[in-house]
Chain A
Amino acid sequence: MRPQFVLCLLLTLQVSVGSSHPATADDPATIDFNRDVRPILSNHCWSCHGRDESSRKAGLRLDTRDAALATGDSGRPAVVPGQHSASELVRRILSPDAAEVMPPPELQKPLTEQQQRILQQWIQQGAAYAEHWAFIPPRRPALPTVRNTDWPSNELDLFILQKLEQAGLQPAPAAPPLMWLRRAALDLTGISPSPAEQQQFLANIPALGLNAAKAEAADRMLQSPHSAERLAMHWLDGARYADTNGYNNDEMRTMWPWRDWVINAFQSGMPWDQFLIEQLAGDLLPNATISQKVATGFIRNHVLTTEGGIIEDEYHWEYVADRIHTTSTVFLGLSLQCARCHDHKYDPFSQRDYYRLAGFFNNVPDRIVSYSQGRMAEPLLKVPSPAQSAELEQLARRETELQQLLAGRQSAVAETAADWAAGLTEQQLAELELSGLAHAFALDETGAEFADSTGRSAPATPHGTPQSVPGHSGNALQLNGSHWIAAPAVGDFEADQPFTASAWIRTEAGAGGTVFSRMDDAAAYRGYDLIVEGGRLNAHFIDHWPDKGCKVSTQAILKPQQWHHVALVWQGTRRASGIRIYVDGVLQPLQVDNDGEVAGSLRTPRPFHIGRRSGSVPFTGTIDDVRIFSRAISETDAQRLAAGTALAGIRDLVLTARAERTAEQQAELQRFFIDHIDPEARNWRTELTTIGPRRATIEQQIPQTMVMQEQSPRRPSFILHRGQYDQRGEQVTAGIPAVFATTSTATADAAPQPEPTRLDFARWLVSPQNPLTARVAVNRWWELLFGCGIVETTEDFGIQGALPSHPELLDWLAVELQTNGWNQRSLLKRMVLSATYGQTSAVSSEQLERDPRNRLLARSARLRLPAEMLRDNALAAASLLNPLIGGPSAKPWQPEGLWEDVSVERREKYQPDPGDGIYRRSMYTFWKRTCPPPAMTVFDAPDRETCLVRRSRTNTPLQALVLLNDPTFVEAARSLAGRVLQDAAKDPARIELAFNIVLARQPAPAERDELLQLLAAGRQHFAAEPAAAAELRKVGRAVVDPRIPDAELAAWSSAMTVLLNLDEAITRP
């Protein structure tokens, strides 16, 4: 390379020719509107002279050529093409008068002299405007011709080399094969290649040739599940995926089925257009599968408030705004947020455009979930695993079979039932009545204790002296609000056990209270109760109120001063849907007031109470015949209970002679026989009773996740004045922004009915008319592999965004994506096989000087690994990485007390997972939005409250503290030490192996010696400090071969900590 020559050439190229204005070497010769003028106008002029009518000054627009050429308020046209001296714009930008000069000094955005010159030149050259590059659909450019035809490996390199040759730069030499392999493995799979993978690759080179060996490796990596995880990890920030709701209460949510959908999509090589359509509108596809619906969780990943007192409509619009922001940023590379309150000042989007887009995202029937109502907002979808689905189907089949068998049993037992009834002794008849009955309190006595008429020893003692009055049968207890009965041994059931409690009650109008309960008010109301309130019945079943408990209430009003039989049935399914309430034997329709799952226990040491909760809601009225059954009674049972005084209610039937029984009585006797006596039926019924709880258990394990769904009729969308939820303006229909409508007829303003749907919107995104989607996608992949996008502002392709460094390359890639079946893998492969990607990252000071930010790619970039990959690679080197894919999020080590610091009532506590759950890949780390994993945020992971597509890449001392002291890294170093001690025999070989594992290369002699010296120092140190060596061994959970002495392991652990902390270890080469 000949630097002096290069410099001269550059100067020659840049000196402006034919201009009538003084120009410097920095000025371009021919003005390009998009490159040279637009940024000046956009930054300095358009906020007052642009699209936004409400903030326009002096009636002047400079954002279109016609408007700029028109005569403004001043009486002179702002721009006279070819005559800069006649242009008012020029006069004003050059004016020495502070009252006249533009931009006005108070805007604090003065033009530089160069900017002034450029505007003059532009006018002189004809004041041509051009549409913003990113809003013109890409067309496949011709491949550039280059001088050095040896270097390019594929088309991509031609575009890069062309610019390098123009700038007089040479590409860097090719990286050594293993540097390429480590780079590609980290980029594509997130994990450094193992020694075996390195061996295989090196062996392939002589056999296949270097390029084919690289191609083989790239294919292998791209098809591995780790690659799917890596690409999914890259997707999660933009999709603002998290495991909690964010905002004040920040409860847990279950969105990991969506995250797993993303992994599966990448694993299956799903075409990018389908990847996009399913996430935005999978629910609207014909015959949408569960998986396609789960995909729409993308839109529901936003934060969700459950804070008390929140105004629903306000947050409805916040969520819509988040969906628009995320969708436009992630897929279109646009920020539309400005247009929420007013027309966008820079980009051609009106406020109307914004609310037309809102029409696609505001039609989901979501409601604000109050804090007591649960953790996620409807619509929800259950997502069973294949095994769960199969078992549920099997259970349903068997249930039907058994029900049919039982139904058919009636006629079969006619004789047997009659014989059985005839043979009953008086004692048997008495016992019969106890079937399923656990306890029965007739409440006939007056005194210090009430007897359990089942004969079981279950003392029930009165508090206060309730009056004994004539009851429904025998006597009853009159309670006045200060009396109650306590029975410690009664009604102690677990949440998954079915049971029933019943009583006869009589109340005055408006009076009532707790009929019975077993509840601990002070332990967040754990337990259950049945309450008369305002003449209606309600019941609670609670583990922890209100989040883990349910409440139902009846609709009909109990008649005052009349005896009613009330029966409360719990089917043991842990949900409100498993509650039945019978009044006088009639099943009551129930309103579900709280539908929390009774996830933990129902049991409490507080006694069963007749007449109040553990301390509240006392009963006023009369209670008689309280019974507790250790099973969920049937509707027939409830009828029998209400009809007679005994469970059986068949005493009369049995005592009626066979011949005298009516057909109805005969049938009833048979039903009873089947229900309670018939051994065959009992077996079936026993089996039946296991089906409910089993199904409940499975149902409980099936994750529910938030998805999209449309409501009908559609929720109207309005232009909201200043974006305020309560200031509705004109109603608008859903549609794409007008600027794009010109390039697409499908969903334009004048589109015929019906109103376009979210699915139409998704399809428009991937239509050939869309100028952005493909560009934005390939740009993000370019950023993933090269460290910086072709458009550096991956999040902003708008007018204020960066211009592409290689516009033709970007378009070539975008068109390639659109025409190759939206095949992401094939493009990624082409990128990693390019000569550009294959360069060394070593950089000379001259290169640093010429292109400090490496925008021309005359070398590869060294990139500090993202937070997730730092930890994953340490775990992989240590052979600790748990390869399990997907499922609920994992909790690795985290310092204690962090959740308590920020959570409501300090009640959230972080508990690391048991076993090797702590070694899952970091993309599975549980993401609590108000307290994200601290070791990750230090390495620039965002909090995931809002969409973010480009992380910063900082270098701070806190990062050193994590890598040196986080127990994860300490135990990884120890395990790596154990691995090399085991796998190699001598110290130098062990160090070589460790280098190989961590850095995919051999150590230089000086490097090896440095570690050998440290090892020697460590052995000496830990031999003298055996206790310290023993302590270091105990950090974390990973166990290393006990035959390795503490001091030896500690010395090696320290050496491996050094290795894992090298800049090279944490950097993609």
Chain B
Amino acid sequence: MLNVSEICRRAFLRLPPGAAAAAALLNPAAQAAEASHFAPRAKRVVYLFQSGGPSHLELLDEKPGLRRLHGSELPDSIRRGQRLTGMTSGQNSFPVIAPKFAYRTYGQSGLRMSELLPHTGSIADQLCVIRSMHTEAINHDPAITLIQTGSQQPGRPALGAWASYGLGNEAEDLPAFIVMISHGSGRDANQGLLERLWGSGFLPSSHQGVKLRGSGDPVLYLSDPPGISRDFRRTMLNSVQSLNQQHLQQSGDPEIATRIAQYEMAFRMQASVPDLIDMSQESEATFQMYGDEARKPGTFAANCLLARRLLERGVRFVQLFHRGWDQHGGLPSNLPKQCHDIDQPQAALIRDLQQRGLLEDTLVVWGGEFGRTVYGQGGLQADYGRDHHGRCFSVWLAGGGIRGGMTLGQTDDYGYNIESDPVHIHDLNATILQCLGMDHQRLTYRFQGRDYRLTDVHGNPVKSILS
């Protein structure tokens, strides 16, 4: 008879110091960094990434003066000759375009935010909006790679991988870092996503994000093959374990003990993941809160609900990607669709986390890789578009460690340059780590002789937004 606890105990004994016990189940070979550097404000993160670069001008950074400036040429004093992407650098005119959508006042704090985000408005007092984000990247690939990995070029671990490496796993039957992708209702994204955005880079590959999918196997290769029942799989597994146990006696290699534990863990995941995605136990009230889309696997709404279920189960880092925000053209016709995709579910997620007492130690981050230009791509058009803009954009944070009901930073009247409190992507990432109790300067991994950090040699946590 197999004694799993004995095997696990032995597997744990080989762990390097600092690794949480549960981490061993999923990441036994992983080198875990030193535990928290200081008291964590958040234990978990859910990152609602809006891929493509949502327009800060239409959504979060109101510029009433633009109505008056509509159609006028962007002054050189604002543009300051900074580089543009090759998509608009050839334009000989840069007409200012006023957003087609109105702003409204939300919450006690009086947050001004787009009329397209009424549900999000209803949780305005939870949000900390940063209007002074900036990045030096001006194209999708480098920009999204920078915000997710701290470098514009491939090769570095993703934020979630760093979190997994730094804090280990506290979920019992699930990986520490989970990724979900949804496709926007606007036009199909003309920029790709990349495995590296949830990759482990030079960290041990057990820290790579595991995709949870809306179709097919929720976790790749999760289902037993057709014809193999759960019971018979257990019978087979008992044979595997018994034979492995015999081999362990002979060869003495502790890696076999770990293998035995991993096979048990896999067997449990085969039950825990279907349980995780089984929404039948969710109340009608929940679906009303998240909206009907939440019943459709693979939607942003369903992913938000799943995110809550993952966070409840102790998953350290839940990363959502919602595609379709790259509105070079057709912004007015596509933006409402994209906003409709996310508005109700993301508000519901925050409210739901709050109701369950999870929000206080869960950090919620919302944002894209850059903002969009105040001038129109392809000139002045009714169904206008905007090019990529890295000199300022807006994100919001909520939950563990974050002061709600505040805004940080101000941009100029064109929403083009930052006027106060600039926050670079490295600062944002340092802040996220800080919320998790980690000093971004001390969370390092040596590779090719250098102690690498998520924030390279930059970054300062934004203390003023921390509660």
User: Chain A interface (Cβ within 8 Å of chain B)?
Assistant: 108, 246-250, 303, 305, 307-311, 318, 321, 329, 335, 337-338, 346-347, 793, 795-796, 798-801, 841-845, 848, 862, 864, 895-897, 901-906, 929-932, 934-935, 937-938, 940, 942-943, 945-946, 948, 951-962, 964-967, 970, 1004, 1006-1007, 1010-1011, 1013-1014, 1017-1018, 1021, 1025, 1027-1035, 1050, 1054-1055, 1057-1058, 1061-1064, 1067
Contacts and interface: CB of A to CB of B under 8 A. Distances in A.
Contacts of B262: 955-957, 959-960
18 contacts: A309-B85, A347-B449, A800-B446, A843-B251, A844-B252, A862-B255, A902-B192, A904-B189, A905-B190, A906-B188, A930-B193, A937-B208, A958-B266, A961-B222, A964-B221, A1029-B227, A1035-B227, A1062-B244
B220 A1014 contact: no
A953 B29 CA distance: 8
A966 B202 CA distance: 26
Contact of A961 (B89, B219, B449): B219
Nearest to B138: A309
A308 B86 contact: yes
Given A862-B255, A955-B28, A964-B224, A946 B86 contact: no
Contacts of B316: none
Interface in B188-243: 188-196, 199, 202-206, 208, 210-211, 213, 215-217, 219-229, 232-233, 235-236, 239-240, 242-243
B366 interface: no
Contacts of A948: 202
A904 B188 CA distance: 8
B215 to A, nearest CB: 6
B458 interface: no
A347 B450 CA distance: 11
Contact of A307 (B139, B247, B447): B139
B75 interface: no
A106 to B, nearest CB: 9
B250 interface: yes
A951 B254 CA distance: 20
B232 A1018 contact: yes
A848 B229 CA distance: 40
Contact of A1062 (B88, B89, B232, B243): B243
B26 A1011 contact: no
B169 to A, nearest CB: 11
Contacts of B260: 1063
Contacts of B256: 1063
B226 A954 contact: no
Contact of A957 (B26, B233, B442): B26
Given A347-B449, A842-B252, A1054-B228, A930 B26 contact: no
Contacts of A311: 83, 85-86
B255 A1063 contact: yes
Contacts of B229: 1021, 1025, 1028
Given A904-B190, A954-B30, A965-B222, A246 B154 contact: yes
A148 B387 CA distance: 74
B246 interface: yes
Given A862-B251, A957-B26, A108 B442 contact: yes
Nearest to B205: A940
Interface in B139-196: 139-141, 153-155, 175, 181, 183, 188-196
Nearest to B191: A248
Given A335-B448, A902-B181, A954-B30, A943 B204 contact: no
A955 B255 contact: yes
A946 B154 contact: yes
B354 interface: no
Contact of B27 (A308, A793, A946, A956): A956
B227 A960 contact: no
A184 B74 CA distance: 70
B62 to A, nearest CB: 27
A299 B194 CA distance: 23
Contacts of B263: 957, 960, 1061
A346 B448 CA distance: 11
Contacts of B228: 1028, 1032, 1054
Contacts of B141: 247-248, 305, 307
Contacts of B27: 954, 956
Contacts of B450: 335, 337-338, 800
Given A1007-B243, A1007-B246, A1017 B235 contact: yes
Given A943-B195, A958-B219, A1014-B239, 16 more contacts: A108-B441, A305-B141, A308-B87, A321-B153, A337-B450, A842-B253, A895-B221, A897-B215, A901-B211, A952-B29, A957-B266, A958-B210, A958-B266, A961-B220, A967-B225, A1063-B244
Contacts of A801: 448-449
B322 interface: no
A904 B206 contact: no
Contact of B191 (A307, A321, A329, A929): A307
Contacts of B221: 895, 934-935, 958, 961-962, 964-966
A957 B267 CA distance: 8
A1014 B236 contact: yes
Interface residues of B, number: 93
A932 B195 contact: yes
Contacts of A1034: 226
B30 A901 contact: no
B397 interface: no
Nearest to B208: A937
Nearest to B86: A309
A1028 B217 contact: no
B20 interface: no
Contact of B251 (A799, A842, A959): A842
Interface string B417-435: 0000000000000000000
Report which residue of B29, B255, B447, B448 has the largest number of chain A beta carbons within 10 angstroms of its beta carbon: B448
Nearest to A1032: B227
Contacts of B191: 248, 307, 904
B266 A945 contact: no
A34 to B, nearest CB: 15
B192 A249 contact: yes
B243 A1010 contact: yes
A551 B326 CA distance: 28
A864 to B, nearest CB: 7
A970 B206 contact: no
Nearest to A906: B188
A934 B220 contact: yes
B83 A895 contact: no
A862 B192 contact: no
Report which residue of A305, A800, A1028, A1064 has the largest number of chain B beta carbons within 10 angstroms of its beta carbon: A1064
B449 A901 contact: no
A955 B139 contact: no
A637 to B, nearest CB: 41
B259 to A, nearest CB: 5
B269 interface: yes
Contacts of B235: 1014, 1017-1018, 1021
B380 interface: no
Report which residue of B86, B183, B199 has the largest number of chain A beta carbons within 10 angstroms of its beta carbon: B86
A138 B133 CA distance: 52
A930 B140 contact: no
Contacts of B183: 906
Contacts of B448: 329, 335, 337, 793, 795-796, 798, 800-801
B124 interface: no
Contact of B225 (A841, A970, A1027): A970
Nearest to B247: A1064
Contacts of A905: 188-190
Nearest to B263: A960
Contacts of B193: 901-902, 930
Contacts of A1014: 235-236, 239
A845 B254 CA distance: 10
A318 B29 CA distance: 33
